[in-house]
């Protein structure tokens, strides 16, 4: 029987064999069921990601229990991951509840303050064999309650990335190379030369945030240059909600959640299948 794992080995495997593990942001039982069922069928490792407001909405103990049930039903690796958490106390509470992977996001802080905040979380998390992701640079856009204006966005400096990793002992690094949270106003332009240089200076797995709405070929190129984890959120929410809206437009008197949630799950399933293929994580276990 499989159990909830950290992301350590699955990201190392992805790095070694040059694919990426998809991290799907979920919000409730239905969305967790979809990503787990598809990952099981396609034999892909899976990272189930939750933001702070998702944890508030669905409650920590419910998320952990549902993830444990999903893991027990699978023979491929499953992790639940805290995504874009800025409060170290909330991270510690979630670790005690059963999370074994977390992201401390202090990217809006000055460099040294970022290091200080990340080191505190790393010291605590590693005592429980929990992996830690941090971010250097800022992605424009909105992720949960985190908002970064376009003028505040900053790309990851490769030399700083090396110093940051050495100083913090993190397990993975989210890099800013031109992606954004949410939808894009035009075609994104990713700085692959910057990514290549970061990869040369940093040995740990690299993470791409803001991958929703990015053309497949750009994500695939980023993976070929060292990205080992790809975060996906907006691309899941839109088809799910659109399918629900269409169902209610066609069935205005409907009231059974089992009926109106099903089209949303099916629409989301197709996207999850596609993203796994883009990450090339299928049939890895």
169: annotated binding-site residue? no
211: annotated binding-site residue? yes
Mean pLDDT of 98-114: 96
Assess whether pLDDT exceeds 50 at residue 32. yes
CB 265 within 8 A of CB 33: yes
0.85 exceeded by pTM: yes
H or E stretch at 175: strand 172-175
27: annotated binding-site residue? no
C-beta neighbour count of 95 within 10 angstroms:
19
* Closest by CA position to 33, among listed 81, 2, 80, 70: 70
Percentage of the chain exceeding pLDDT 90: 86
pLDDT, one tens digit per residue, over 167-212 is 999 999 999 998 775 554 556 789 999 999 999 999 999 999 987 7
98: annotated binding-site residue? no
Assess whether pLDDT exceeds 80 at residue 218. yes
**List of residues 6+ apart from 119 with CB closer than 8 A:** 167, 168, 169
Out of 13, 75, 83, 216, which one is annotated catalytic?
A: 83
Assess whether pLDDT exceeds 50 at residue 151. no
Q: What is the pLDDT of residue 50?
A: 98
Mean pLDDT of 45-55: 97
Mean pLDDT of 50-68: 97
Active site residue 83: yes
Q: What is the pLDDT of residue 148?
A: 43
Q: What is the DSSP letter of 182?
A: S
Measured in whole angstroms, the distance separating CA 202 from the mean position of its chain's CA atoms is 20
φ/ψ bin of 98: left (φ > 0), alpha (ψ from -120 to 50), beta (otherwise): left
SS3 string, 216-236, reads HHHHHHHHHCCEEEEEECHHH
Residue 284 phi, psi dihedral angles, 5° rounding: -95, -15
Q: What is the pLDDT of residue 195?
A: 97
Mean per-residue pLDDT of the chain: 92
Q: What is the pLDDT of residue 179?
A: 79
Assess whether pLDDT exceeds 50 at residue 73. yes
209: annotated binding-site residue? yes
Assess whether pLDDT exceeds 50 at residue 90. yes
All domains of the chain, ordered by start, with CATH? 8-279 (3.20.20.70)
Mean pLDDT of 19-47: 98
């Amino acid at each position: 029987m499989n159990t909830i794992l950290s992301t350590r080995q699955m990201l190392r495997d992805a790095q070694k064999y040059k694919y990426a593990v998809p991290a799907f942001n979920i919000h409730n039982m239905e969305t967790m069921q979809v990503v787990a069922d598809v990952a099981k069928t396609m034999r892909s490792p899976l990272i189930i990601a939750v933001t702070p407001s998702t944890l508030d909405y669905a409650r920590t103990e419910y998320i952990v229990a549902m993830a444990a049930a999903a893991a027990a039903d699978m023979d491929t690796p499953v992790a639940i991951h805290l995504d874009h958490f800025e409060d170290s106390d909330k991270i510690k509470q979630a670790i005690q509840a059963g999370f074994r992977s977390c992201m401390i996001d202090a990217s809006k802080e000055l460099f040294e303050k970022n290091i200080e905040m990340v080191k505190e979380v790393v010291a605590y998390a590693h005592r429980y064999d929990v992996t830690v992701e941090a971010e250097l640079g800022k992605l424009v856009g909105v992720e949960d309650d985190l908002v970064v204006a376009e003028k505040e966005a900053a790309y990851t400096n490769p030399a700083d990335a090396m110093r940051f990793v050495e100083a913090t002992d993190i397990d993975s690094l989210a890099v800013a190379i031109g992606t954004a949270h949410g939808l894009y106003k035009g075609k994104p332009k990713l700085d692959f030369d910057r990514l290549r240089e970061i990869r040369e200076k940093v040995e740990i797995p690299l993470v791409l945030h803001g991958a929703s709405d990015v053309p497949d070929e750009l994500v695939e190129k980023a993976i070929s240059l060292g990205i080992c984890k790809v975060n996906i959120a907006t691309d899941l929410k839109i088809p799910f909600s659109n399918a629900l809206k269409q169902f209610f437009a066609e069935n205005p008197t409907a009231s059974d959640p089992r009926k109106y949630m099903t089209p949303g799950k099916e629409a989301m399933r197709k996207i999850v299948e596609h993203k796994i293929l883009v990450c090339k994580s299928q049939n890895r276990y």
